[in-house]
Amino acid sequence: MPDPERQRFLKLGAFFHPTGHHVAAWRHEGAQIDAGTNFEHYVRLARTAERAKFDLVFLADAVATRDGNLEGLSRWPQYMAYFEPLTLLAGLAAVTRHIGLVSTATTSYNEPYHIARKFASLDHISHGRAGWNVVTSSNASEAFNFGRDAHYGHAERYERAEEFVDIVKRLWDSYDDDAFVRDRAAGRYFVPSRLHYLRHQGKHFTVRGPLNVARPPQGYPVLFQASASDTGKDLAAKIAEVIFTPLHDIEKGQAFYRELKDHAARFGRGWDDLIIMPGLNPVVGRTRAEAAEKQRHFQSLIHPDVGRELLSNALGGVDLGGVDIDAPLPDHIISPEQRRTDARISYLFREQLTVRQMYEKYGGARGQRTVVGTAEDIADQMQEWFVGRAVDGFLIQPPHLPAGLDEFVEQVIPVLQERRLFRTEYEGATLRENLGLRRPPSTYAGPGPAAPREGA
């Protein structure tokens, strides 16, 4: 039974990677092969997820193609050709009514004004369903598209991100919620004192403001964050409302859950102000044997060039050029010390695996957890983690799309609903309401630092 003290249902996001999350998904007969630039495909996915009462759809992003060996890249189309996600979500907003629309956007290669404006617009277009996944860019090749010859250093990235998010929030507050009186008779559209000029001058940005969009319906679109390092976790504890992170075992999940929520409390935030939602890659079968066979089939579709590339990325860009894929990874490539202590990769070294087995293990969900089994098996795992307070929900990463989402919706969702772990109707009108997050007041509301005003 679910924990009786816990009022909330599991939170569920549907993470759409064009053809699916499995690295070889595009070769599977259940995947839409031209998915990256097929709008109707996404419409179908979003409507399926909404019918199942998912909280949100989630899109990752990069502002570059992946770099690497062209042989490998040509066999692995993920992030090579796909829609700009905010444009896509604006299209999806028009064909859905309830589901949240969350996109990744980097603080490394954007300007705060642009991001504030676009997400505020999406929040209005969708009537309060927008979310922003704040990232600092994992893909160094993005630098080359923005006048730089190298990616920002780690510390600078996070410093920039913190200043960036602060500006964006305050730009969203440019107009008070009640600024627009639109009084035809008096000839007044908005109240001048309810418009605020930011006049920000910081280390990385200078922004005068105000934003030329009304305050978003949710106050602020919901802020997501995904990162693994201590600096990343610090930023998450300060600003994130939903944390998306890879978690592989329940004890580490429970420790991460407590750590992040306690850390957030140090910034004056409550436990419920922060939702932890790791990725989960479900491979569903009518029987365990069918699920295992399905997974075996996915793995058999990974071309060895792709496997090497994938594992090299997972291990931080090591060279696997001449490595025998049917033998264990030589010690000189990743030291025994790093195998034990690096949380991002240690799960790959828990058993003695060959290189092929390692890339297969990683490839299923590109670093996130895979659960292979029947609908009941998958629901059991989700329940155990939720009731055990290792998570508040999951970002479901179907291995192939649309088939993997259909299977999850048809088979796993009803089991979760029967167990009263998941809603049968949306509770609220906005993404915030469905996630149980409060609507933030404007920084200019009530007591607080007086804001400089134009003409004042």
Per CB under 6 A, residues contacting ligand FMN are 60-62, 104, 106, 135-139, 226-229, 231-232, 244-246
Q: In degrees rounded to 5, what are phi and psi of residue 74?
A: -70, -15
Q: How far apart are CA 199 and CA 210, in angstroms?
A: 8
> Could you give the C-alpha distances from 312 to 25, 94, 144, 329, in angstroms and in order?
19, 40, 21, 11
Token pair for residue 217? 């319906």
Nearest distance, CB of residue 455 and ligand FMN, angstroms: 40
Distance CA 221, CA 128 (A): 7
User: For residues 345 and 329, what is the distance between their CA atoms, to the nearest angstrom?
Assistant: 13
Return the number of the residue (227 or 312) whose C-beta is nearest ligand FMN.
227
Find the shortest distance in angstroms from Cβ 104 to ligand FMN.
4
Which residue type occupies 278? P
Closer residue to ligand FMN (CB): 109 or 444: 109
In whole angstroms, the minimum distance from the beta carbon of 428 to ligand FMN comes to 26
Closer Cβ to ligand FMN, 210 or 363, answer by number: 363
Both structure tokens of 106: 């980097």
Smallest distance, ligand FMN to C-beta of residue 105, A: 9
CA–CA dist 177, 342 (Å, integer):
46
Alpha-carbon distance of 336 to 6, in angstroms, equals 41
Considering the complex, what minimum distance in angstroms separates the CB of residue 79 from ligand FMN? 9
Q: How far apart are CA 328 and CA 339, in angstroms?
A: 13
Give the nearer residue to ligand FMN in terms of CB position, either 167 or 277. Answer: 277
C-beta closer to ligand FMN: residue 213 or 365: 365
Which token pair is 48?
Answer: 């399926």
Strands 200-201 and 206-207: antiparallel
Residue number, 32 or 139, with CB nearest to ligand FMN: 139
Of 214 and 396, which CB lies nearer to ligand FMN in the complex structure?
A: 396
How would you class 430 by CB atoms within 10 Å of its CB: exposed for 0-12, middle for 13-18, buried for 19 or more? Answer: buried
Q: How far is the CB of 366 from ligand FMN (least distance, A)?
A: 9
Shortest gap between Cβ of 243 and ligand FMN (angstroms)?
A: 9
Region class of 423: left (phi > 0), else alpha (psi between -120 and 50), else beta:
beta
